Amino acid sequence: MTEDTYKTITEVSEGTYTEKRSKFIAIALPVRTLEEIKVHLEAYQKKYYDARHVCYAYMLGHERKNFRANDNGEPSGTAGKPILGQINSNELTDILIIVVRYFGGIKLGTSGLIVAYKAAAAEAIAACTIVEKTVDEEVTVLFEYPFMNDVMRIVKEEEPEILSQSYDMDCSMTLRIRQSAMPRLRSRLEKVETARITDEQEGNG
């Protein structure tokens, strides 16, 4: 992976693991915000209200700096951490993995729990479709109509995605392109006579 790409999942997937009659159900979900995570956690805690534990870990953002692991009553470091470890070893982000445990009556011990939560999370990830996405930036260029051909030639050669465009005496075009390609696109657009550049936002592809 390069600095302006990241790996994530595209759909919800599940995996299960059983150890000494304890059943572990893992659910991997694509997420983009803490609000989404909160909604999913509430929904799955409600769905599995009769389970002994509903543990989870998540990772957000292409820089992979926003993360959390939660043991939900299991011994410290035996649930959330091994789940997060699987997210890390697969270099994933924008992902939430919830692992639900139904207790089978036999204690697994610290090492047994770590193995079980890790294995359940790995099963859910194995069932996922993993995709590589680019970190994209958006830019808006304002220019006068006579310079349309100059701008369009650059757009054709640099191949950004055209998000919006309006053509009047004063024209504008909002473009999106991967982060590493943005400096060259901006530089070329700035050389077009009458062109003014405004940054729109930075987003993920």
Q: Give CA–CA dist 83/118, Å, rounded.
A: 5
E strand or H helix at 34, and its extent?
Answer: helix 34-47
The pLDDT assigned to 200 comes to 53
In tens, the pLDDT along 60-79 reads 988 888 999 999 999 999 99
Whether pLDDT at 179 is above 90: no
The pLDDT assigned to 69 comes to 96
Q: What angle do CA 9, 90, 39 make, to 5 degrees?
A: 45
CA-closest candidate to residue 202, choices 136, 152, 110, 114 = 136
CATH of domain 3-131: 3.30.230.30
Q: What angle do CA 109, 104, 102 make, to 5 degrees?
A: 95
| Residue where the block lists tokens 């996405």 | 133
Would you say the C-alpha torsion 199, 65, 133, 99 has a positive or negative sign?
A: negative
pTM listed for this prediction: 0.78
The pLDDT assigned to 125 comes to 96
The pLDDT assigned to 191 comes to 87
Whether pLDDT at 89 is above 80: yes
**CATH 3.30.70.240, domain 134-196, yes or no:** yes
Q: Give CA–CA dist 168/172, Å, rounded.
A: 9
- Contact (CB, 8 A) for 40 and 170: no
| Mean pLDDT estimate for the chain | 90
Whether pLDDT at 204 is above 60: no
Rounded mean pLDDT, 81-107 = 94
Q: Give CA–CA dist 77/153, Å, rounded.
A: 56
CA-closest candidate to residue 121, choices 58, 63, 77, 41 = 58
The pLDDT assigned to 2 comes to 57
Domain ranges of the chain: 3-131, 134-196
The pLDDT assigned to 66 comes to 93
The pLDDT assigned to 205 comes to 46
The pLDDT assigned to 199 comes to 67
Most confident of 12-16, 167-171, 191-195: 12-16
In tens, the pLDDT along 129-176 reads 999 888 888 989 999 888 888 999 999 999 999 998 888 778 899 999
Whether pLDDT at 18 is above 60: yes
- Cβ within 8 Å of residue 113, ≥6 positions away: 74, 75, 78, 79
